[in-house]
Amino acid sequence: MTDITIYHNPDCGTSRNTLALIRNSGTEPAVIRYLETPPARDELQKLIADMGISVRDLLRKNTPPYEKLRLAEAQFSDEALLDMMLMYPILINRPIVVTPLGTRLCRPSETVLDILPNPQREAFTKEDGEQVVDEQGRRIRT
């Protein structure tokens, strides 16, 4: 049984890089494809609380429902924003990673390194060519 969960979208490069960094630590996480299996309302509220962010901070802005529903407007309550995320899971920003060390929205992907219990096993380069872990498994600060 794994103690790491990632709310993942395989079409997202940041999500793919985050998943690869988790695997580079020697752990196979539970992968939840949240577009196919969205979290329940209470689960989404818990994730937001555990990350210490606002409901609005979790909204993905560069997606058609955000513009169509005019979610940038301030009149929407947290409850209304949650309703929209549950109705349109693409509005949930990703990837969200849960580990024994915390819960984070991992943007950029190397944010996951702050909450992984195990160190990186080898060098890691993101899909865009940016190296984030050196040959000794140490995070490269840029």
Number of H helices, E strands in the chain: 4, 6
Distance from C-alpha of 102 to C-alpha of 88, rounded to nearest angstrom: 26
Q: Which of 6, 7, 8, 12 is catalytic?
A: 12
Distances 38 to 33, 72, 85 between C-alpha atoms, Å: 8, 22, 9
CA 64, 11, 20, 43: dihedral to nearest 10 degrees?
50
Establish whether 106 is a catalytic residue.
Answer: no
Structure tokens at 5: 């969960």
The single-letter code of the amino acid at 14 is T
Catalytic positions are 12
